Amino acid sequence: MTDTVQTPNRNRRLGFLILGAVVLIAAIAYGVYWLLYSRYFESTDDAYVAGNVVTITSKENATVQALHVDNTQTVKQGQLLLEMDPAIPTVNLQSAQANLARVVRNVRGEFSRSDSYDAQLAQARVQLAQARDDYKRRQSAASDGAVSGEELAHARDAVAAAQANVNSAAGGLQQTQASIEGTDVAHNPDVLAAEAQLRSAAIVFGHMKIIAPLDGVIAQRTVQAGQQVAAGTPLMAVVPLNDVWIDANFKEVQLARMRVGQPVTVKADIYGGSVTYHGHIEGLGAGSGSAFALLPPQNATGNWIKIVQRVPVRVALDAKELADHPLRVGLSVTADVDVRDESGPLVTSRVGAGTTIANTGEDSGPVADAMIARILKENGASR
């Protein structure tokens, strides 16, 4: 009977000892974790893959004639994405070419008229000199009575008529030279204006073919063949998956020891724990997410409750690791920052190289230059 009573007590003590040992081991493990890991690392699972989403839009009002890509397809920079109906731009381009040829011929006519007026002016001046000489001779003869007053009057009228012819020729020459003075045919303002119209028509014609501005994957294609689209309408997007980063939203209490350049390890939910990315802090956000919200909180009015804010921290990833295991924009990840090295700056001082403006249409510059050179040559002008 005594052994039966002691057995439950012994089991109870053994259970308490085991429980105490488990608690002690857990406390030791947490202490080791805090000493070796928690003190030197800041972690968050409020982190997501971010990247550039380049929207492809129509630059002109046009009808989609052909589609060459679809969602999930990979494209290279310069690859043809879609074509618009070029009928109207083609007509406008042909009209601009004809207008340039007509203007060149008109300007050449102005140069010819200038030469003609110059010759007329020279002839009128000779006639004026002759009329003046005749008038002087008759004026001398009239004093001797050898010439009648009527003949003298006719000579005087001839001088006035010759002077009028000189003024008319000089006015015509001045008017003609006003539009051509100081330039040749190819550099005449009217010709340059016609060239600008041709270039504008060539640019619109070039917009009928839309090309990929950079390497990436097609997403959000909403346009269909035969659809009439307006200028500025989003047609699809190109996402460069080789240039993504992590936006990790850390609590403000976690930022005290964070510095630019600190190493970061990232694990993505898509690959589980089997893949680890290595990167570094590229910069800390300029404000909390709520500060840039559409309706930011007004803490100075009404009741106020303190809420711990989060600040986005941008993490750059290793390019080779990213190429081996691509990530998609918007995926969830976990980020761990090693904050032991606090020698880096709190705010990045790196100045970016800027964004290259990518052309999504065919380059119409060389085509327009060739058209202009050909038209000038065919119509008697050269540059």
Of all helices (H) and strands (E), which one includes residue 376? helix 365-378
Cα–Cα distance, 353 to 227 (Å, whole number)? 38
Judge if 44-85+214-295+303-350 and 88-204+364-378 fold alike in CATH terms: no
Cα–Cα distance, 171 to 127 (Å, whole number)? 17
User: What digits encode the pLDDT tens for the residues 340-374?
Assistant: 888 888 888 776 655 555 666 767 788 888 888 88
Q: Average pLDDT, whole number, for the chain?
A: 83
Is the pLDDT at 86 greater than 80? The verdict is: yes
- Inter-residue contact 296 to 290 (CB < 8 Å): yes
Q: What is the mean pLDDT of residues 238-245?
A: 93
pLDDT at 347: 85
Is the pLDDT at 331 greater than 80? The verdict is: yes
pLDDT over 70, % of the chain: 79
| Listed ranges 112-121, 159-168, 323-332; the one with the highest mean pLDDT | 323-332
Q: What is the mean pLDDT of residues 297-317?
A: 84
Asked: is 44-85+214-295+303-350 a CATH 1.20.1530.20 domain? The reply is no
Is 0.75 topped by the overall pTM?
A: no
pLDDT at 109: 76
61 CB-near residues (< 8 Å, 6+ apart): 228, 229, 230, 231
Cα–Cα distance, 134 to 73 (Å, whole number)? 93
| pLDDT band, residue 91 (cuts 50/70/90) | very high
pLDDT at 349: 74
Is the pLDDT at 99 greater than 90? The verdict is: yes
pLDDT at 183: 73
The domain 88-204+364-378 is classified under which CATH number: 1.10.10, 1.10.510, 1.10.287, 1.10.760? 1.10.287
| pLDDT band, residue 223 (cuts 50/70/90) | very high
Domain boundaries, the chain: 44-85+214-295+303-350, 88-204+364-378
